[in-house]
Amino acid sequence: MDLDDELRRLFQDQRLDIPVKAGADDAVVTGARRVRRNRRVLASAGSAFAVAALVAGGIALAGLGSPTSLPPASTSTTGTPEPSVPVSGSVGFGVLKLGMAESDAVATGFLDRGPDDGLGCHTYFTQGHPDLVGAVVVSPKAGMVRITIPDDAQTSMGISVGSTTTDLKARYPRAVERDSGFTVAMGGTPSWYYVFIIGADKVTAIRMQLDAPECLLD
């Protein structure tokens, strides 16, 4: 006996305590059929959705091993990690980058023109060092070749103005001693290096520099 016959038999059973309104059995049977039909539709839609999800998932998984074109990561140095493989114009402090053109550097609004050095390179004062001649040096040939970082900034190794020579050597074991302090080659392209100026056994200034013999950088 199917569900329709069973429902009609139930409503016609004389043992029911509540009288059944005429036609109620047909209405209930019709409702039951509608419920079954809706369930079949939902089941079909669910199956189609599952298939679509599996196809979409397959497409997504298939792309995992494919090469993807991504934008290059920023390599600017803003007092935190310096890049290990810098490229021209991407290493620096904030908007000031080693190798950037003089016109671009001036357009940042962070520089005030100072005197030329003895070899004809242009020097600038910066907002961080408004009284320091040569805080930034620009070469007509290589662009910006020196950036003196602000005194309250630090390198990725935690060295800042005020750090001791002992701390500097511990954080940068490759540091090479020079007349005014230490240099640390950072490598990459173009090659650049830190210059740590030392006074009274402490760091008094930190510079980022390119190799530029056409300027007075010592």
CA–CA distance, 114 with 105 (Å, rounded to integer): 14
Q: Closest Cα to residue 76, out of 103, 49, 99?
A: 99
| Residue 34: predicted pLDDT | 63
Quickly list DSSP for 61-95. Answer: HHTTTS----PPPP--BSSSPPPSS--TT--EETT
Q: Are 216 and 145 in contact (CB under 8 A)?
A: no
Quick one: pLDDT at residue 42? Answer: 47
Give residue 130's pLDDT. Answer: 95
Q: What is the pLDDT of residue 191?
A: 84
The HSE-up count of residue 107 (CA atoms within 13 Å, CB side) is: 6
pLDDT value of position 176: 97
Residue with tokens 């001036």, as numbered in its chain: 106
Strand partners, 136: 124, 147
pLDDT by 10s per residue, the chain, length 218: 555 565 556 555 544 444 445 555 555 446 556 655 655 644 554 444 443 443 334 333 233 333 332 233 333 343 433 433 333 457 899 999 999 999 999 999 999 999 999 999 999 999 999 999 999 999 999 999 999 999 999 998 999 999 999 999 999 999 999 989 999 999 777 789 999 999 999 999 999 999 999 999 98
Q: Is the dihedral of CA 162, 198, 95, 191 positive or negative?
A: negative
What string of DSSP letters covers the chain? Answer: --HHHHHHHHHT-TT-SSPPPTTHHHHHHHHHHHHHHHHHHHHHHHHHHHHHHHHHHHHHHHTTTS----PPPP--BSSSPPPSS--TT--EETTEETT--HHHHHHTS-EEEEEE-TTS-EEEEESS-TT-TTSEEEETTTEEEEEEPPTT-B-TTS-BTT-BHHHHHHH-TT-EEETTEEEEEEETTTTEEEEEEEETTEEEEEEEEE--TTS---
**pTM score of the predicted model:** 0.60
